């Protein structure tokens, strides 16, 4: 049986029973759609996170009280026992780490920002030294970042995110304008390039002020204090981290047989932890959604069995004119594959559209995942083979005489 005739017969059989074919396709489509949605959405969110973490740079690490990714309540409770970081840690690192090129203290709080009659509540206010722009990839869309002199003299200048510009100034150039942060006057000197959102959190709703100014207004930071450290080179990053670890263990009097009571975090550390977490999460969700594929496969098998029974005389006629078992087997198996493959293609398209919609709700973008597409096609074809083989074998093994006499 040549391929063109096989395709023609299969199409004819499927079109002759549109409702049955549609139900078969629907079962597979639902399963593939759910798998495609999960994989595409997770990959899209991970891409967004990677883009945000890339701003840290390959030579940067963070000294913080808490770790990068907390995955359990026990881990969180254990970290709560740690002593808070203090401002004198800055001098410890600057004096003791010769492989650390720059060290930047950073703290944050939330406050109300106002310009004339417009206001924003609970804006992320970040205090950092002037060296932050040399450590973290901050893209300036307009104006400038604050200088060493601004930080040294505790000037009340502010570098704002694009969301604040849009909400408070509406097309008016904000450079040189005054805003109030927690009731204090600040002069806008720069605007950051638009970043978008990550997991629904607006990355443009922030204001950065000199660290000395932050301490003057909000007091010495306790819970939110961290230090951004830039190593002299990528190759010596780990050595720099080891130096800082030894310095802090000594200054914080950590016993030699006890773990660190602080965290050293790099972008790679966070990505590794997130990848491990999302890998488990993805496998769990895909496993759950696979149940719908099994149900769809059972639907395929049952409908194919009905089709075999209804076409018993057709099978008998084909065998009587010379069709062999392998021809009948291939024909029915091909029909199952065509149905499940079509369901897979529709499921892939729907899954991507649903994932794009869901990820769009948190203002992130995704692109078609090669892995997700290949997985969807493989699953649909596999479903057709696994659940279509038994009905196809039953049709192939029919006795032609009994088949012809079937009423």
Could you tell me if 364 and 196 are in contact, meaning their C-beta atoms sit under 8 angstroms apart? yes
pLDDT at 291: 77
Q: Which of 20-34, 231-245, 386-400 has the lowest mean pLDDT?
A: 20-34
pTM of the model: 0.68
User: What CA–CA distance (Å, rounded) separates 196 from 133?
Assistant: 19
* pLDDT tier, 68 (very low <50, low <70, confident <90, very high otherwise): low
Could you tell me if 105 and 129 are in contact, meaning their C-beta atoms sit under 8 angstroms apart? yes
Could you tell me if 380 and 343 are in contact, meaning their C-beta atoms sit under 8 angstroms apart? yes
Residue 386: strand, helix, or coil: helix
pLDDT tens, position by position, 238-254: 999 999 999 999 999 98
Picking from 196, 193, 135, 167, the residue whose alpha carbon sits closest to that of residue 360 is 196
Could you tell me if 392 and 332 are in contact, meaning their C-beta atoms sit under 8 angstroms apart? yes
User: What CA–CA distance (Å, rounded) separates 368 from 190?
Assistant: 36
Q: What share of the chain in percent tops pLDDT 90? A: 35
Highest mean pLDDT (candidates 41-45, 96-100, 340-344, 392-396): 96-100
- Continuous H helices in 142-183: 148-152, 162-169
User: What CA–CA distance (Å, rounded) separates 150 from 31?
Assistant: 59
Q: What share of the chain in percent tops pLDDT 70? A: 87
Is the pLDDT at 134 greater than 50? The verdict is yes
User: What CA–CA distance (Å, rounded) separates 182 from 279?
Assistant: 42
pLDDT tens, position by position, 290-314: 777 787 788 888 888 888 888 788 8
* pLDDT tier, 388 (very low <50, low <70, confident <90, very high otherwise): confident
Q: Quick one: tokens of 132?
A: 């932050």
């Amino acid at each position: 049986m040549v391929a063109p005739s096989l395709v023609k017969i299969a199409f004819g059989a499927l079109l002759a029973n549109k409702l049955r074919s549609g139900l078969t396709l629907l079962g597979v489509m639902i399963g593939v759609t759910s798998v495609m949605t999960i994989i595409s959405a997770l990959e899209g969110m991970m891409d967004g996170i990677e883009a945000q973490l890339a701003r840290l740079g390959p030579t940067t690490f963070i000294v913080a009280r808490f770790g990068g990714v907390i995955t359990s309540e026990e881990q969180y409770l254990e970290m709560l026992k740690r002593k808070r970081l203090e401002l004198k840690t800055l001098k410890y690192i600057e004096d003791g780490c010769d492989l650390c090129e720059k060290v930047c203290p950073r703290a944050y709080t939330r406050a109300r920002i106002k310009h004339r009659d417009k206001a924003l509540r609970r804006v992320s206010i970040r205090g950092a030294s002037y060296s932050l722009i040399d450590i973290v990839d901050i893209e300036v869309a307009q104006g400038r970042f604050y200088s060493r002199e601004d930080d040294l003299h505790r000037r009340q200048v502010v570098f704002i995110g694009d969301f604040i510009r849009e909400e408070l100034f509406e097309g008016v150039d904000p450079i040189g304008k005054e805003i109030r942060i927690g009731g204090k006057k600040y002069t806008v000197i720069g605007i950051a390039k638009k970043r978008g959102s990550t997991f629904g959190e607006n990355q443009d709703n922030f204001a950065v002020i000199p660290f000395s100014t932050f301490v003057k207004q909000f007091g010495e930071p306790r819970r939110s204090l961290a230090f951004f450290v830039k190593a002299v080179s990528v190759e010596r990053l780990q050595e720099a981290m080891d130096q800082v670890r030894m310095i802090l263990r000594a200054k914080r009097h950590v016993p030699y047989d006890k773990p660190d009571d602080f965290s050293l975090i790099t972008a790679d550390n966070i990505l590794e932890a997130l990848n491990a977490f999302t890998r488990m999460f993805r496998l769990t969700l895909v496993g759950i959604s696979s149940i719908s594929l099994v149900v769809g496969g059972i639907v395929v098998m049952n409908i194919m069995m009905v089709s075999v029974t209804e076409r018993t005389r057709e099978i008998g006629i084909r065998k009587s004119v010379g069709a062999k078992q392998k021809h009948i087997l291939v024909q029915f198996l091909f029909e199952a594959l065509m149905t499940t493959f079509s369901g897979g293609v529709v499921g892939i398209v729907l899954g991507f559209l649903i994932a794009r919609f869901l990820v769009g709700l948190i203002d992130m973008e995704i692109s078609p995942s090669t892995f997700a597409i290949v997985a969807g096609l493989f699953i649909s074809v596999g479903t057709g083979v696994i659940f279509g083989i038994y009905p196809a074998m039953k049709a192939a093994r029919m006795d032609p005489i009994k088949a012809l006499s079937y009423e």
